[in-house]
Amino acid sequence: MTVNGDEFVAVWDESIGIFTVSSVNNGSWGLGAASGDADCDGELTIADAVLILRAAIGLETLTPEALSAADIDGDGVLTMADALIAARRAVGVGV
Ligand SMILES: [Ca+2]
Ligand SMILES: [Ca+2]
């Protein structure tokens, strides 16, 4: 994995639910789901757009991390606009 040109190793241990990152330079780092990846599986697909839409109308409750990823336009509110952006990006006509 590379961040800002620096190589580091990231290992997810699902059995204990810990994500370990090594060989990272000193500093402040954040870790979160990629924009639009509401189901946090590492890919932006139409399933994310559907999940965002369902959450926007109250049919799903997202974790704080998923909510952050789902709020694609960054306005602090989950709406159909976020779902539309996710859908467009998922099919390759991104905004
Ligand atoms: Ca996803
Ligand atoms: Ca939003």
Whether residue 18 lies inside any domain: the answer is: no
Ligand of minimum distance to the alpha carbon of 84: 2
Per the structure, how many domains does the chain have?
A: 1
In angstroms, what is the span from residue 55 Cα to ligand 2's centroid?
11
Ligand of minimum distance to the alpha carbon of 51: 1
| pTM for the structure as a whole | 0.70
Asked if the model's pLDDT at residue 60 lies above 90, the reply is: yes
Q: Six-digit token pair at 66?
A: 């998923």
State residue 14's pLDDT score: 75
pLDDT band at 59 (very low <50, low <70, confident <90, very high): very high
Whether residue 16 lies inside any domain: the answer is: no
Q: Which residues pair with 19 in a beta bridge?
A: 12
Asked if the model's pLDDT at residue 76 lies above 90, the reply is: yes
Report the C-alpha gap between 11 and 43 in whole angstroms. Answer: 18
Whether residue 85 lies inside any domain: the answer is: yes
Burial class, 70, CB count within 10 angstroms (exposed 0-12 / middle 13-18 / buried 19+): buried
Ligand of minimum distance to the alpha carbon of 78: 2
State residue 67's pLDDT score: 94
Whether residue 82 lies inside any domain: the answer is: yes
The 3-state secondary structure of 28-66, one letter per residue: CCCCCCCCCCCCCCCCCCHHHHHHHHHHHCCCCCCCHHH
Encode pLDDT of 5-57 as tens digits.
666 677 777 788 777 777 777 777 766 677 899 999 989 999 999 999 999 99
- The parent domain of residue 79 ranges over 46-90
